[in-house]
């Protein structure tokens, strides 16, 4: 009789454990999806801001400083290297801005759907 009682108590408890595990898995997956979406949104926002600054095809000293600040955000947000490399070249160029980097940045803005008038 005691074995039956223990079995009757254990079965619902096992179902409860399995259910909790499934809920935990679903919550973990949802949190992971949300984090991925947030990272993608951050990368998109950085790309849009970079393309906005470079939109006229001319980089002023102030634009260069802004791009240097955005470089850190681009790297942290996981913006693709094809986008970050010309941004880094422009940010670190000093007085002589590399035309090829500006062209590459414009091409990346075009490819990302954030077309610049110069590209």
Q: What is the pLDDT of residues 2-28, one digit of tens each?
A: 666 665 566 566 556 566 566 566 667
**Residue 104 falls within a domain, yes or no?**
yes
- Long-range contacts: 111-119, Cβ < 8 Å, 24+? 112/47, 112/51, 112/83, 114/47, 114/48, 114/51, 114/52, 115/51, 116/51, 116/54, 116/55, 116/56, 116/57, 117/55, 117/56, 117/57, 118/54, 118/55, 118/56, 118/57, 118/58, 119/57
Can you give the residue range of the structural domain that contains 105? 2-111
Overall domain count for the chain = 1
**Residue 61 falls within a domain, yes or no?**
yes
Q: Average pLDDT over the chain, rounded to whole?
A: 78
pTM of the model: 0.66
Does residue 115 have a pLDDT over 70? Answer: no
pLDDT digits (tens, 9 = 90+) for 59-77: 888 888 888 888 988 888 8
Work out the angle between the directed axes of helices 61-77 and 81-91 (0-180°, nearest 10): 150
**Residue 116 falls within a domain, yes or no?**
no
Q: Mean pLDDT, to the nearest integer, of 18-41?
A: 70
The two counts, helices (H) then strands (E), for the chain are 4, 0
């Amino acid at each position: 009789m005691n074995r039956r009682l223990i079995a009757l108590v254990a079965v619902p408890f096992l179902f409860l454990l399995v259910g909790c595990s499934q809920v935990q898995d679903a919550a973990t997956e949802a949190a992971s999806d949300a984090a991925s979406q947030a990272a993608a949104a951050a990368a998109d926002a950085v790309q849009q801001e970079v393309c906005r600054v470079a939109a006229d095809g001319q980089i002023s000293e102030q634009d260069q400083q802004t791009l240097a600040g955005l470089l850190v955000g681009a790297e942290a947000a996981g913006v693709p290297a094809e986008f970050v490399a010309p941004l880094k070249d422009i940010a670190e160029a000093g007085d002589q801005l590399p035309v090829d980097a500006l062209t590459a940045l414009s091409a990346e803005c075009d490819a990302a759907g954030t077309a610049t008038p110069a590209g």
